[in-house]
Structure 1
Amino acid sequence: MPPLPAGQPIDLLIDARWIIPVEPFRTLLENHAVAIHNGRILGLLPSDQAHVTYQARRRVSLNEHVLIPGLINLHSHAAMSLLRGYADDQPLMRWLQEHIWPAEGRLVCADFVRDGTLLAGAEMLRGGITCFNDMYFFPEAAAQSIQRLGMRAVLGLITLEFPSAYASDASDYLSKGLATRDRLANTDRIGFTLAPHAPYSVEDKTFERIVTLAAQLDLSVHIHIHETAQEIEESMRLHGMRPLERLHRLGLLGPHLIGVHAVHLNGRDLALLADHGCSIVHCPTSNMKLASGIAPITAAMEQGIRVGLGTDGSASNNRCDLFWEMRHGALLGKVATDNAAAFDAHTMLRMATLEGATALGLENDIGSLRPGKCADLCAVRLDDWILQPCFDPASHLLYAAGREQVSHVWVQGDEKVTDGQLNDTDINELLDISALWQNNALMQRGNGGSGIPPQSNLP
Structure 2
Amino acid sequence: MSAVTIRARHVLSADASEFLSDAAVVIRGGRVFSVGPWRDVEPAGTLVEVDGVLTPGFVDAHSHLRGLPLPEQGIPPRQFESWICSLGAAAALDPADEALLATTELLQTGVTAVQGFVDAAASGDVLAGARRALSGASGSGIRALVVLGFADRALRTPEPATGEWALVPPSGPHLPVERIAEVAADWLATETPETVALGIGPVGGQWSTDALLEAIAAAAGDTRLHTHLHESRLHRGWLEGQPSPLDRLDAAGLLDARLSGAHAVHLTAPELDRIAAAGSSLVHCPVSNDALLVGTAHVSAWLERGIPAALGVDSQNTGAPDYFDVMRAAIAQSATVGTAISPAEVFAMATVGGSRALGIPGGGSIAPGAHADLLELDLEPSIEAIVESGSAAAVSRVWVAGSPVVEGGRSLVDPEPARARLRAQLAADRPDRERRLAELAPAVDLVERLAGARA
TM-score by length of 1: 0.83
SS, match of residue 98 in structure 2:
helix
SS, match of residue 306 in structure 2:
coil
Q: Is the Cα–Cα contact under 8 Å of residues 229 and 263 in structure 2 kept in the other structure?
A: yes
| Structure 1 residues 431 and 209: CA distance shift in structure 2, 3 A | closer
Alpha-carbon shift at residue 94 of structure 1 (Å) = 2.2
State how many pairs are aligned: 416
CA shift digits 1:140-197 (9 cap, x unpaired): 111211222222111111101169899643444553343132132x532111111210
2:166 corresponds to which residue?
Answer: none
CA shift digits 1:4-27 (9 cap, x unpaired): xxxxx9732212222224x31423
1:24 corresponds to which residue?
Answer: 15
2:265 corresponds to which residue?
Answer: 263
SS, match of residue 161 in structure 1:
coil
2:198 corresponds to which residue?
Answer: 192
Alpha-carbon shift at residue 345 of structure 1 (Å) = 2.3
Alignment of 1:309-458 (within 5 A): 309-314=311-316, 319-337=320-338, 339=339, 342-364=340-362, 366-382=363-379, 390=380, 393-423=382-412, 425-448=413-436
- Measure the CA separation in 2 of the matches of 1:177 and 1:441: 32
| Structure 1 residues 441 and 69: CA distance shift in structure 2, 3 A | farther
| Structure 1 residues 285 and 254: CA distance shift in structure 2, 3 A | same
Alpha-carbon shift at residue 49 of structure 1 (Å) = 3.1
Amino acid at match of 1:401: G
- Measure the CA separation in 2 of the matches of 1:196 and 1:146: 21
- Measure the CA separation in 2 of the matches of 1:335 and 1:30: 37
SS, match of residue 78 in structure 1:
coil
- Measure the CA separation in 2 of the matches of 1:318 and 1:419: 20
- Measure the CA separation in 2 of the matches of 1:172 and 1:321: 39
Seq. identity, %? 27
| Structure 1 residues 140 and 170: CA distance shift in structure 2, 3 A | same
SS, match of residue 287 in structure 1:
helix
2:98 corresponds to which residue?
Answer: 116
| Structure 1 residues 126 and 406: CA distance shift in structure 2, 3 A | same
| Structure 1 residues 247 and 147: CA distance shift in structure 2, 3 A | closer
| Structure 1 residues 177 and 353: CA distance shift in structure 2, 3 A | same
CA shift digits 1:352-393 (9 cap, x unpaired): 1111212222123x32111122211011112xxxxxxx5x53
| Structure 1 residues 329 and 416: CA distance shift in structure 2, 3 A | same
Larger deviation, residues 27-36 vs 163-172: 163-172
Amino acid at match of 1:125: L
| Structure 1 residues 439 and 279: CA distance shift in structure 2, 3 A | same
Amino acid at match of 2:5: L
| Structure 1 residues 18 and 344: CA distance shift in structure 2, 3 A | farther
- Measure the CA separation in 1 of the matches of 2:389 and 2:288: 21
| Structure 1 residues 26 and 344: CA distance shift in structure 2, 3 A | farther
SS, match of residue 3 in structure 2:
strand
* Equivalent of 2:216 in 210, 216, 230: 210
Q: Is the Cα–Cα contact under 8 Å of residues 309 and 356 in structure 1 kept in the other structure?
A: yes
Amino acid at match of 1:357: S
* Equivalent of 1:154 in 141, 145, 163: 145
Amino acid at match of 1:238: G
In structure 2, stretches of 5+ residues that fail to align are 120-128, 154-169, 448-455
Amino acid at match of 1:231: H
Q: Is the Cα–Cα contact under 8 Å of residues 70 and 128 in structure 1 kept in the other structure?
A: yes
Indicate whether 1:102 and 2:89 are aligned: yes
Alpha-carbon shift at residue 407 of structure 1 (Å) = 0.4
* Equivalent of 1:140 in 131, 147, 151: 131
2:310 corresponds to which residue?
Answer: 308
Q: Is the Cα–Cα contact under 8 Å of residues 194 and 220 in structure 1 kept in the other structure?
A: yes
Amino acid at match of 1:41: V
TM-score by length of 2: 0.84
- Measure the CA separation in 1 of the matches of 2:227 and 2:295: 18
- Measure the CA separation in 2 of the matches of 1:166 and 1:124: 32
CA shift digits 1:244-299 (9 cap, x unpaired): 12222232211111111000111221122112111110001100111111101111
| Structure 1 residues 143 and 165: CA distance shift in structure 2, 3 A | farther
Let me know the Cα RMSD of the aligned residues: 2.7
| Structure 1 residues 302 and 430: CA distance shift in structure 2, 3 A | same
- Measure the CA separation in 2 of the matches of 1:421 and 1:60: 18
Q: Is the Cα–Cα contact under 8 Å of residues 56 and 351 in structure 2 kept in the other structure?
A: yes
2:32 corresponds to which residue?
Answer: 41
| Structure 1 residues 113 and 361: CA distance shift in structure 2, 3 A | same
Q: Is the Cα–Cα contact under 8 Å of residues 67 and 97 in structure 2 kept in the other structure?
A: no
- Measure the CA separation in 2 of the matches of 1:247 and 1:180: 21
Alpha-carbon shift at residue 62 of structure 1 (Å) = 2.1
